[in-house]
A and B are shown apart, each in its own frame.
Chain A
């Protein structure tokens, strides 16, 4: 049987057992399509103001209504997907890779490497994490790159500690000893023998963490420390809409807020599905 066919069966197996995963994948696809083709899909230019249609409620013309400057909210929500997901995914990928590398070294070699890396993570964890992220962006400047950097740094201890623990329990296992007997030096032992076994658990953590990263990046923009208006971004849109909560123009914050919630919800659900898919004991 070919490996592709086996993979297909594994995917089918994971979805068959968990319908919610299917829902999550559907939402993810929608989000990814928006991120990839947002500008082409959006009915209006997300930056175009229209003084004749300020604050119009959802209608056939503007499905999600318009904001105080008459910009189409649907278009802004759709176009913002690229930036919001892009920032969160980049941050998660970076902290995943760096955290895995640092944690694996700490967990496998122990000793002073473990102590230095542990101390570094303790230092990061000593701060309230969102405040630390605010500080980093405030110090380095409002830019997409710095938001990614800040989000990466505050998530780093999470991955590093997880990887350290998982590597540490496997370090003494029979199959690792067997790998060394089979001529594997430290790096191949880690890369080929240990890390593939901890990846499933790491991916689940990453997927669960993804929601938090989205909220974090959007949150920085929400408090004015992230990307700047008029860039379409969910956090800014919620923050702009929030001033109309009292006056009742609910569509200005409900739709971008819903996009955020949906994205967070989707990645949390995916975490569970992924666990089933990647667990080697369930492979056929």
Chain B
């Protein structure tokens, strides 16, 4: 097997939660293993609050993990702190397109400066003409009209801001582009256009993608492998088609069943009852899905299921998979 581009091992992030209960910890990401091969497009799905954005920040070295390691081409990036990583050459190799394009653009920067800043800082491009040429090329790649280059973010539409966010991330030619729900803040019509643009960009530039979404349909279009998260843990990993045809984890099944399908309109769908368990100091010996799971038994309350292999590249964490 070739060496993965990115290899995360037992990645964990806990946040202290104050307010009386001293020492209580919110387990945002819990012992996540994840690999991404060069040029591969991996999908990451899970409901709101399951820790997708936290995992993105960890992988992109924007926050330091509580424990665990991230290897990039075999080199441990977690050997240095997040603050030091900013100045490392590898910083340019992992870039993120953030969840909310409006909030992630500096309101006092023109589009040009937003795209040029990482070029100057990460690649040390100083020459004005070179800078302009590269900024314009990135803008062209994402389909941003030239006349918008001198505008401020508040003068752009949501779709245009999303394009600026993508241009800023790809301008330094990263090996891995992480897209954190890049279309969730956009109109449905614009969503489709941006998704097509992203698929097109990946084909042209050959980067690896980690595509985060809470919508299985979206990742199905773009990704060859899908990772399903639930309350900070990976519950299933499988090649895209296999995940849809032979899901192993009850949560994955529920996710697939909840996709609106005109052919099955009117049929009763399996629904998830109950509310999710709390992410604050969860019992390490209870399956996170227990209580909402249709097949949950006593065993689920006494032993945390491990991620087990069920076929080529197919893993699931359920006692009954």
Contact = CB atoms under 8 A, between A and B. Distances in A.
Contact of B87 (A179, A185, A280, A284): A185
B122 A182 contact: yes
Contacts of A181: 60, 62, 91, 95-96, 118
A175 B118 CA distance: 12
Contacts of B269: none
Given A180-B86, A183-B87, A283 B152 contact: yes
A226 to B, nearest CB: 40
Nearest to B122: A183
B117 interface: yes
Interface in A168-191: 173-175, 177-186, 188
A185 B57 CA distance: 17
Which of A179, A197, A284 gathers most chain B CB within 10 Å? Answer: A179
B33 interface: no
A100 to B, nearest CB: 16
B312 interface: no
B26 to A, nearest CB: 16
Contacts of A196: 108
Contact of A184 (B95, B107, B117, B168): B117
Contacts of A177: 57, 62, 98, 104
A174 B161 CA distance: 13
A268 B172 CA distance: 46
Contacts of A178: 96, 98, 104-106, 165, 168
Judged by DSSP, the binding face of A is helix
Contacts of B118: 181-183
A179 B60 contact: no
Interface residues of B, number: 31
Contact of A186 (B83, B96, B117): B83
B7 to A, nearest CB: 20
A188 B121 contact: yes
Most central of A183, A186, A280 by chain B CB within 10 Å: A183
B103 interface: yes
Counting chain A CB atoms within 10 Å of each CB, the highest count among B57, B108, B109, B117 belongs to: B108
Nearest to B82: A180
B292 to A, nearest CB: 31
In this complex, which of B100, B106, B109 has the most chain A Cβ atoms within 10 angstroms of its Cβ?
A: B106
Contacts of A193: 106, 109
B92 interface: yes
Contacts, number: 72
Given A188-B121, A280-B152, A280-B154, A182 B168 contact: yes
Interface string B113-137: 0000110011000000000000000
Interface in B126-182: 150, 152, 154-155, 165, 168, 172
Given A177-B98, A179-B117, A197 B107 contact: yes
Contacts of A188: 121
B175 to A, nearest CB: 14
B232 to A, nearest CB: 20
Contact of B86 (A173, A175, A184, A284): A184
Most A Cβ at <10 Å: residue of B92, B109, B122 = B109
Contacts of A284: 155
B108 A183 contact: no
Interface string B34-57: 000000000000000000000001
Interface of A: 1, 173-175, 177-186, 188, 192-193, 196-197, 280-281, 283-284
25 contacts: A173-B103, A174-B99, A174-B104, A174-B105, A175-B109, A177-B57, A177-B62, A177-B98, A178-B105, A180-B86, A181-B91, A181-B96, A181-B118, A182-B117, A182-B118, A183-B87, A183-B91, A183-B122, A184-B86, A185-B83, A192-B117, A193-B109, A196-B108, A197-B106, A280-B154
Given A174-B104, A193-B106, 10 more contacts: A174-B98, A175-B106, A175-B107, A177-B104, A178-B106, A179-B106, A179-B117, A180-B86, A183-B92, A185-B87
Interface of B: 57, 60, 62, 83, 86-87, 91-92, 95-96, 98-100, 103-109, 117-118, 121-122, 150, 152, 154-155, 165, 168, 172
